[in-house]
Copies of this chain bind each other. A is one copy, B any other.
């Protein structure tokens, strides 16, 4: 019996909340999910790789893809552009594979409009103070950049209510387990199953 329909999962969270570590742990538990690699014009951070975390492309290359209609959605933040490639979503979904997207709140809103059945999850820190400490502590950005991120946090907080789920990242492993439970549970929703197949063994 195979009543499973493939599912689109969107994960967002404040900068510095530890999304990357959590998402890596989710993939350890659910290795069959495909990570959709986004395009961005921003520079890679320490440890980030082209074709793994993002496709790091120039402003010109980005604009070319916009014109060619290669993006299902794209957004512009203060200084950078982010785009979700159609090919990264629709191909795996059509093969019955779940797809996980890491998006900012604007991207997530765009995707929810286009794929209303997608599951949206927002990762929050246990406290704003802890988040600030983490942002400053990682030392990868200057004061201006940190202040800009803190402004973003204010704006993003207002969008959490539009997500399906909100998960606190206190311990990354526990946070990942909660996300895995959400994904497994969503597959059991009546709306995601083919009830006609439930009793196919009868035939």
| Chain A residues close to B by CB (< 8 Å) | 1, 122, 124, 126-130, 157, 160-168, 178, 181-182, 184-186, 188-190, 193, 195, 198-199, 201-202
Contacting residue for A188 out of B126, B130, B166, B199, CB 8 A: B166
Q: How far is the CA of A198 from the CA of B164 in the complex (A)?
A: 15
Tally of this chain's copies: 2
Contacting residue for A126 out of B126, B127, B201, CB 8 A: B201
Instruction: Please name 9 pairs of A and B residues whose Cβ atoms are closer than 8 Å in the assembled complex, sorted by A.
Output: A129-B202, A130-B201, A157-B199, A161-B195, A164-B190, A168-B198, A181-B184, A184-B185, A185-B186
Known: A164-B190, A188-B165, A190-B160. A198 touches B129 (CB 8 A): no
Q: How far is the CB of A131 from chain B (nearest CB, A)?
A: 9
Chain B residues, Cβ within 8 Å of A157: 199
Q: How far is the CA of A88 from the CA of B178 in the complex (A)?
A: 29
